[in-house]
Amino acid sequence: MKCPGIQFSSEPGNLTNLNTFKYSGLANNKIVGIVPTVSGKGIELITKKQKLSAHNINKCINKITITKGSHHTALSVANIVAHNGYCLDLHQAVLACISAILASQRLAKVHVKKTKGHCTMCAKQA
């Protein structure tokens, strides 16, 4: 008996982590993968070279590191995906993946609680 709901996948090159042919990094010839860099600043764009055999996985992977700002990163990756013949359906998934990775790399702001009224007078005297 099948379980109802969405099936997820964790394969490399799958932008949405959904178990579908459209987003699969194994079933398609041209793949796009986006992962955070090791340093924690920026992203690493992973594409697959077409002319090499699929048996040589290490040789057929092309990695591009982009550490600029979020707008520059999104624009350059969108241009690479659009102009190199990758599936245009992946455009929104690529941008969503980039923005999620860059948002996770931002530092959270620390808010200092301001004291009001009688407490401020006590703080100044101490």
pLDDT score at 18: 86
* Structural domains counted in the chain: 1
Q: Would residue 115 count as lying in a domain?
A: yes
Work out the angle between the directed axes of helices 91-105 and 70-83 (0-180°, nearest 10): 160
Q: Would residue 102 count as lying in a domain?
A: yes
State which residues of the chain have pLDDT below 50. Answer: none
**For residue 89, what is the domain's CATH number?**
3.30.390.110
Range of the domain at 85: 32-125
Q: Would residue 12 count as lying in a domain?
A: no
pLDDT score at 123: 63
Q: What is the pTM of this model?
A: 0.75
- The DSSP annotation for 42-90 comes to SEEEEEE-SSS-TT-TTTSEEEEEE-S-HHHHHHHHHHHHHHTT--GGG
Q: What is the pLDDT of residues 13-46, one digit of tens each?
A: 888 888 888 888 777 778 888 999 998 899 998 8
Q: Would residue 113 count as lying in a domain?
A: yes
